[in-house]
Amino acid sequence: PVGRKKIVTPPPVKILAEKYGIPILQPSSLKELEISDWKFEVATLAEYGLMIPERIINAFSKGILNVHPSLLPKYRGATPIQSAIKNGDEQAGVSIMLLEKTMDTGPLLAQKTYTLDPDEMYTHTNRTLAQLGARLLVDTLPTYISGDITPTPQDNKQATYCSQLTRDDGRVDWNSAARDIYNQYRAFSPWPGVWTMWDKKRLKLLNISLSKMALPPGCAHVEDDILTIGTSGGAIQVHELQLEGKKPMDAKTFVNGCSTHVTQTFRFDSQA
């Protein structure tokens, strides 16, 4: 489903396959998928999001090559790009591995490192790593099929894991350092986004940047229509925000509408 109206739209792979007359299967579940007549040697997998049954993995004599957007064994799981950005990593990357029945544990065939810019947003990194992974897969597949690549087992002792995101992951803790909050914003935009509580309402921070101003954690300061919020180290300048039930607005509009309250400290209500 795409957009606010959740219109069911075919994915780009299906559109391209239909253009060239390539058969498409879109089963709602893989548990009952009939594979007895499959005669394929190898398969590729990217961003499928569900566990692949072992019987399907074993249906391919040379296995399934999976494209994973991290430098495995680091960040096994569903949100490797967001995790790398949130943790302030200087490097990310993609891995080509052979799929196993356990999550992201298969032997490695190839990896490519990517340097993260300190201001880079998730959407840019996601797009870049998708392109990097596609090129790496195209380069790796022929050499693997020909037997010129020896799969390398992952070091399970070095493995780290990342889980699905929830809305609560985006809640800002003003007792954190400004850089940590900024990384949270970079990692979680557009979803779940970053937010705080204001007058018992959820306030989304749609566009923020780092500030050198020194303020107590959670204390808001207004000067020349610029809204700055203190943290445990440094501050965050807010450029665009959205109050619960309202449309997105710039900081000046918010400040003008909340002039009697904007210098108060944010209260961390238990309600989201």
Domain of 207: which CATH number?
A: 3.10.25.10
3-state secondary structure of 214: coil
Range of the domain at 52: 12-162
Query: How many CB atoms within 10 Å of residue 259?
Result: 10
* 257 bridge partner residues: none
User: In this structure, are 58 and 157 located in the same domain?
Assistant: yes
Query: How many CB atoms within 10 Å of residue 142?
Result: 10
User: In this structure, are 173 and 152 located in the same domain?
Assistant: no
Tens digits of pLDDT across the chain (272 residues)? 665 666 788 888 899 999 999 989 888 888 888 888 888 999 999 988 778 999 999 999 999 999 999 999 999 999 999 999 999 999 999 999 999 999 999 999 999 999 999 999 999 999 999 999 999 999 999 999 999 999 999 999 999 999 999 999 999 999 999 999 999 999 999 999 999 998 889 999 999 999 999 999 998 888 888 899 999 999 999 999 999 999 999 999 998 887 555 555 454 443 44
User: In this structure, are 157 and 53 located in the same domain?
Assistant: yes
User: In this structure, are 171 and 109 located in the same domain?
Assistant: no
Domain termination residue (choose one: 110, 135, 162): 162
Cα-to-chain-centroid distance, residue 167: 13
User: In this structure, are 188 and 248 located in the same domain?
Assistant: yes
User: In this structure, are 55 and 189 located in the same domain?
Assistant: no
User: In this structure, are 113 and 237 located in the same domain?
Assistant: no
Instruction: Give, as one character, the DSSP assignment of residue 257.
Output: H
3-state secondary structure of 126: helix
Number of domains in the chain: 2
Domain termination residue (choose one: 162, 177, 211): 162
Please list, residue by residue across 74-93, b when 16 or more beta carbons sit within 10 angstroms of its beta carbon and e when fewer do: bbbbbbbbbbbbbeebeebb
Residue from 258, 162, 170, 169 nearest 208 by CA? 170
Output the domain CATH number for residue 140.
3.40.50.170
| pTM of structure | 0.91
- pLDDT for the residue 271: 42
Distances (CA, A) of 201 to 25, 45, 176, 244, 267: 45, 42, 21, 6, 10
Domain termination residue (choose one: 115, 133, 162): 162
User: In this structure, are 88 and 33 located in the same domain?
Assistant: yes
- pLDDT for the residue 164: 95
* 242 bridge partner residues: 204
Tell me the CA end-to-end span of the chain in Å, nearest whole number.
26
Specify if 3 maps to a domain. no
User: In this structure, are 105 and 223 located in the same domain?
Assistant: no
- pLDDT for the residue 269: 47
